[in-house]
Amino acid sequence: MTNKILFLLSFIISVFQVKAQVLYNYPKGQDFYEGGRDGLFKEIQDVVVKNNVKPCEKTEALFMRFIVYPDSKVKFVADEDTNAVESNKCLKNKVLEIVKKTNNWKPAEIDGKKTPAMFSTLFSDDLLFNKLEEGDFIRPVYMHKDKESDIMKFRENFAKCFDANGYRSNTDYSFVLNFDVDTSGAAGFFYIENQSNLDKFNEMVVKCASNTKKSYWKPGYYKGVPIKQVFRMPIKFTAN
């Protein structure tokens, strides 16, 4: 399970200071809340009704990360995307107050030991008031040479960028790259599952997944509001 421990490359500015090992996400089969994501949303919506919470004056949508600690306490992960936070301050403050009134958090466990772990989701008034509609989302668009493309083009460019010389192995090697596309279209918050023990290899992974002058992202949107989205890309190298 050590390959699921949060990995932040030393040259990437972290959005939070890791004082202990923190899982990037929950182990498979484990929920961060009683009843899973649906259970959390239902309780949030109950809190909204019970406390007569009011909508924000304008449409706001904000991707938010939290850490659930072994004592079931929950803390918001500060976001480097300050423009998004400032533009959605009403929603952010409201969600933080609502989360304080929720009580069924479940710590992650590894080998029977409770471990801090992150979870994330996109919040909006539509979610708080149970009015979400799938068609309100527009996913990020990958741009190559100023033309709209898709995730397959991203994978192609990644493969062309990656120089595997010097990293050949007698066995197959696979890993999963996780990263955010923020509200400006910047790729960041890289996390490698099953990371290599070679720093230069990991650095190349991040370099090849980052934006360039020729290839970059346009952000996703929710009802016209730019939003952050997480991508998860499996990669496999075959033996010579």
- Domain shared by 13 and 117, yes or no: yes
Distance between CA atoms of 138 and 219, rounded to whole angstroms?
A: 9
pLDDT in tens, 42-76: 999 999 999 999 999 999 999 999 999 999 999 99
pLDDT in tens, 87-129: 999 999 999 999 999 999 999 999 999 999 999 999 999 999 9
- Domain shared by 90 and 162, yes or no: no
Higher local confidence (pLDDT), 133 or 12: 133
- Domain shared by 126 and 27, yes or no: yes
- Domain shared by 169 and 116, yes or no: no
Tell me the residue range of the domain where 146 lies.
137-237
- Domain shared by 126 and 142, yes or no: no
Which of the listed residues 101, 132, 163 is the one where a domain comes to its end?
132
Q: Which residues share a beta bridge with 110?
A: 113
Q: How confident is the model at residue 168 (pLDDT cuts 50, 70, 90)?
A: low
- Identify the pLDDT of residue 198: 85
- Domain shared by 164 and 203, yes or no: yes
- Domain shared by 76 and 159, yes or no: no
Which of the listed residues 132, 156, 180 is the one where a domain comes to its end?
132
Higher local confidence (pLDDT), 135 or 20: 135
- Identify the pLDDT of residue 171: 74
- Domain shared by 223 and 147, yes or no: yes
- Domain shared by 94 and 9, yes or no: yes
> Which pTM was predicted?
0.86
Distance between CA atoms of 128 and 156, rounded to whole angstroms?
A: 39
Percent of the chain topping pLDDT 70: 88
Q: How many domains are there within the chain?
A: 2
Which of the listed residues 97, 132, 167 is the one where a domain comes to its end?
132
Q: What are the strands, taking DSSP E only, across the chain?
A: 61-68, 74-76, 108-110, 113-115, 117-124, 137-138, 141-144, 147-148, 173-181, 187-193, 215-218, 220-222, 225-227, 229-237
Nearest to 30 by CA among 103, 100, 120, 110: 110
Place of tokens 């421990």: 5
